[in-house]
Amino acid sequence: MKKKLSAFLIAFILVCLSVIPGFAHPGGLDKKGGHNGPGGYHYHNAGGSGGGASGEDVDALAGFRLTDIAIRELAEEVFVGDEFLMVCEYTPENAYPVLITWESSDESVIQAASDGNFVAVGKGVATITAKELTYEKEDSIEVEVFEVPVEALTLAVPDQEIRAEGENIRIQCVLTPSNATGSALVWTVSDEEIATIANGILTPLKPGKVVIIAASDNGITDSIEVEVLKKKSTALQTLAGLVIIAAIVALVIWLRKRKKSK
């Protein structure tokens, strides 16, 4: 009885193997039909002429295999502070599966965010590279980042007195547009004996009027006139002055009295 049952089970298994259509799994095939590592999906015929499980290997998704990638050119110039998206085109368009990673050659110019998103952080040129991991394809493109140019600038003086040998004063400068990055300003004054200026900091030296001029690196300028007042006396200086005046008055009175007594 046991021998009959065993024979029946063996016959049943062989029949099942002969009618199973097959299965697919990821991986490439070499010219001889063997496995050769990563690649598209391929198909195993489980039945085959010999009835075994290896059967004939057929690439079931050959039409979806990626053959090339290309990064699309940007339509507009990129400026410092811009966020932009890079797009990668596939050949064929319906290639599957596709896994793209992105990188920048210079993170001080362009920083990679995620999924093809980038941020321009500094002036210069960086190479952006897209790498496809499944089929080991890649493409690169150079992107230049420009400074945001100054269109206008306006100078203003803080609402406070400017006195000779007094505190240094920062001259206010408002740029248009507000996100302008090409703003390496050059500062000058009309008379350096009255005041000097460096990086927008005014140092008053003696009483008088001077014209302050600021110029951007693309030639945009503005100017403003300021007056440097006399040095303000301290309480001690005021007291010393009063003492001197009182002494002079006392001396004059004494001299007059002495003259009359003669």
Reported as a single tens digit per residue, the pLDDT across 193-222 is 999 999 999 999 999 999 999 999 889 999
- The pLDDT of residue 173 is 92
Distance CA 124, CA 119 (A): 13
The torsion angles phi and psi of 7, rounded to 5 degrees, stand at -65, -40
Q: Is residue 21 part of a domain?
A: no
Q: 3-state secondary structure string, the chain?
A: CHHHHHHHHHHHHHHHHHHCCCEEEECCECCCCCECCCCCEEEECCCCCCCCCCCCEECCCHHHCCCEEEECCCCCCEECCCEEECCEEEECCCCCCCCEEEEECCCCCEEECCCCEEEECCCEEEEEEEEECCCCEEEEEEEEEECCECCEEEEECCCCCCECCCCCEECEEEEECCCCCECCCEEEECCCCCEEEECCEEEECCCEEEEEEEECCCCCEEEEEEEEECCCCCHHHHHHHHHHHHHHHHHHHHHHHHHHHC
Q: Is residue 176 part of a domain?
A: yes
End position of a domain, from candidates 122, 146, 170: 146
CATH code assigned at 103: 2.60.40.1080
Distance CA 65, CA 180 (A): 47
Q: Is residue 73 part of a domain?
A: yes
Q: Is residue 196 part of a domain?
A: yes
End position of a domain, from candidates 94, 117, 146: 146
Residue 74: domain span: 68-146
- The pLDDT of residue 234 is 60
Based on the fold, state whether residues 129 and 167 are members of the same structural domain.
no
CA 188, distance to chain mean position in Å, is 32
Tens digits of residue pLDDT in 58-78: 455 566 889 999 999 999 999
Based on the fold, state whether residues 182 and 121 are members of the same structural domain.
no
Based on the fold, state whether residues 215 and 166 are members of the same structural domain.
yes
Number of domains in the chain: 2
Q: Is residue 168 part of a domain?
A: yes
Q: Is residue 56 part of a domain?
A: no
Identify whether the C-beta of residue 95 lies closer than 8 Å to the C-beta of residue 66: yes
Q: Is residue 105 part of a domain?
A: yes
Tokens of 181: 């990055």
Based on the fold, state whether residues 157 and 137 are members of the same structural domain.
no
Based on the fold, state whether residues 135 and 114 are members of the same structural domain.
yes
Task: Please enumerate in sequence order all residues whose Cβ is within 8 A of that of 155, keeping only pairs 6 or more positions apart, or say none.
Answer: 171, 172, 173, 212, 214, 222, 223, 224
Q: Which residue ranges in the chain fall short of pLDDT 50?
A: 15, 17-58
Based on the fold, state whether residues 126 and 156 are members of the same structural domain.
no
Q: Is residue 40 part of a domain?
A: no
- The pLDDT of residue 48 is 43
